[in-house]
Every structure is written in C-alpha cells, then in structure tokens.
C-alpha cells in the first residue's frame, strides 16, 4: 500500500482542503486527463480528498480490483492511493489526523472483510503503509514531507496480526523444525500451511509434552491460530535441549 500526493492544490486559501463534491468530481475528471500516456483514466487505485467540513472523500480511480500505475515495480503488488493536494509545500488540512484514521478504518475493512488479507504484508519497520519515496527506485518527495510525517497514524492491522511472525522469521522456524532429530512431522516437508498433518503433529506434540489436549495450545477449531504457538514451543524446547546438552 503506497501513499502519494497529486501536487494539485485548491486555488483558494486552504490549498489542501476541498469544499464541495462538485469540486471533487471536476478534480477527478482532470486527473483522468493528466497522464494520457498511462491511459485516459486516473492512474491511482483511489484518490482521497480532505474536505473542509472534516470529512474524507475517497474516489475510485482504477479501483481496488485493477492494477494501478503509480509506483514503479510495485503496481502489481500494491495499491496506490493519492491525496489530492501538495503536502510538501502547503499546510496540512486542519483535521488531517482524524481524516487519516478514517482512511485507516477503510483499509482495515478492506483487509479484514473484503479479501485483501495481504494488505500491509510488506511494510516499513515503523509504519503500516509505504510513502512513494520509500520505494528504493523512486527519486521523489512524494507524498510530501508534511504528509509523510503523518503516515505513522495510518494503522489498520489488528494487534495480534501485527505481532504474528513475519515471513523471514517463519522461514527460520521452519528450517529449525525441519532440522530436528528425530524428524518431526514424520520427516515430511514443513510447508507453513495448516492442514491435516499439522493437526496430527500438534496432537502428537501435546501428547509428548503431556499437555492437556485442546486445552493449552491455540484456539479450538482454528488450526491457523493454533499452529503458531505450537511451533514456537517446539523451537523453545529444542533450544533448551541444546543448552542442557552443552
């Protein structure tokens, strides 16, 4: 998820605030014409307008179902959303904090309820969205320093997901589990996907560790939620055994 600004300002005193939906519509029509080389449509997936009545208006560009043309090398893997305005040289809208959290709520719904479960899967260390200028191949100030400084406010990933294992950590766990002797999972490949053998392995682990089955590890009827603590335990057990052996 990449955030941009369009560098198009409102020609009144509040450059980054918009007054009416008519203004929004004509701005969107203008954006359709702005890069004819990319096609006569709005190249961003969505465009956000900070309204002077404190509302946030989100307009569909290419929409969330189509590939945008906004961030080199990331158009297929990420959504690009532009805020209408110039957030480098002009002041932030008065209600920007609330508008960014409204935007975050929209993203949360997209992620949790609309099938965009990988939204935010790749993100910088300190934020849940990228600014255009975070892309290594971009030489741009986009989305402008003033907006960039506020990107940490866009938080849409639920806490438990936030602390779940990232891909590289999971890979380390996977390799550590795979290397155990005697082999776990009857020597089968550990693919990281919950399934029948995961279930068998969790049961076997519970039995081996004399845990009260179904009472201790994970969430009942949810193998996706139960595999993580189980594999973490296995890793700790292995580490402890190594320490004792030395």
| C-beta closer to Zn ion: residue 56 or 78 | 78
| C-beta closer to Zn ion: residue 73 or 114 | 73
* CB 35, min distance to Zn ion, A: 12
* CB 214, min distance to Zn ion, A: 50
* CB 132, min distance to Zn ion, A: 3
| C-beta closer to Zn ion: residue 4 or 184 | 4
| Structure-block tokens of residue 30 | 């203008």
- CA-CA distances (angstroms) from residue 197 to 21, 191, 200, 233, 243? 55, 10, 5, 17, 29
Question: Of 123-142, which residues contact Zn ion (CB under 5 A)?
Answer: 132, 142
Handedness of CA 209, 211, 214, 215 (dihedral sign): negative
Is residue 7 classed as helix, strand or coil in its secondary structure?
Answer: coil
| Spatial separation of the C-alpha atoms in residues 220 and 227, rounded to whole Å | 11
- 177 is a contact residue toward Zn ion (CB under 5 A): no
- Residue 238's nearest CA partner among 194, 187, 175, 196 is 175
Helices and strands counted in the chain (H then E): 7, 5
* CB 120, min distance to Zn ion, A: 18
* CB 227, min distance to Zn ion, A: 38
* Residue carrying structure tokens 């209408």: 84
Q: Of residues 1, 3, 4, 69, which one binds Zn ion by CB under 5 A? A: 4
| C-beta closer to Zn ion: residue 3 or 119 | 3
5 exposed, middle or buried (CB, 10 Å; 0-12, 13-18, 19+)?
A: buried
| C-beta closer to Zn ion: residue 80 or 234 | 80
| C-beta closer to Zn ion: residue 69 or 107 | 69
* CB 139, min distance to Zn ion, A: 11
Query: Which residues contribute to the site for Zn ion (CB under 5 A)?
Result: 4, 132, 142
């Amino acid at each position: 998820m990449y955030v941009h600004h369009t560098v198009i300002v409102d020609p009144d005193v509040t450059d980054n605030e918009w007054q009416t939906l008519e203004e929004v519509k004509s701005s969107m029509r203008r954006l359709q014409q702005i890069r004819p080389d990319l096609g006569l449509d709005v190249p961003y997936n969505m465009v956000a307008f900070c309204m002077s009545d404190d509302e946030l208006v989100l307009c569909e560009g290419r929409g969330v179902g189509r590939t945008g043309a906004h961030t080199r090398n990331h158009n297929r893997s990420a959504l690009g959303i532009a805020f209408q305005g110039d957030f480098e040289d002009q002041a932030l809208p008065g209600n920007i904090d609330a508008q960014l959290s409204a935007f975050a709520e929209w993203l949360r719904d997209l992620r949790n309820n609309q099938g965009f479960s990988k939204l935010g899967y790749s993100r910088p260390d300190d934020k849940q969205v990228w600014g255009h200028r975070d892309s290594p191949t971009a030489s741009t100030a986009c989305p402008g320093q003033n907006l960039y400084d506020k990107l940490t406010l866009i938080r849409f990933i639920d806490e438990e997901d936030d602390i779940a294992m990232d891909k590289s950590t999971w890979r380390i766990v996977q390799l550590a589990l795979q290397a155990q002797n005697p082999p776990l999972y009857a020597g089968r490949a550990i693919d990281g996907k919950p399934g029948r053998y995961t279930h068998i392995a969790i049961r076997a682990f519970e039995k081996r560790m004399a845990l009260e089955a179904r009472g201790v590890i994970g969430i009942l009827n949810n193998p996706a939620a139960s595999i993580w603590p189980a594999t973490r335990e296995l890793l700790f057990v292995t580490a402890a055994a190594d320490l004792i052996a030395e």
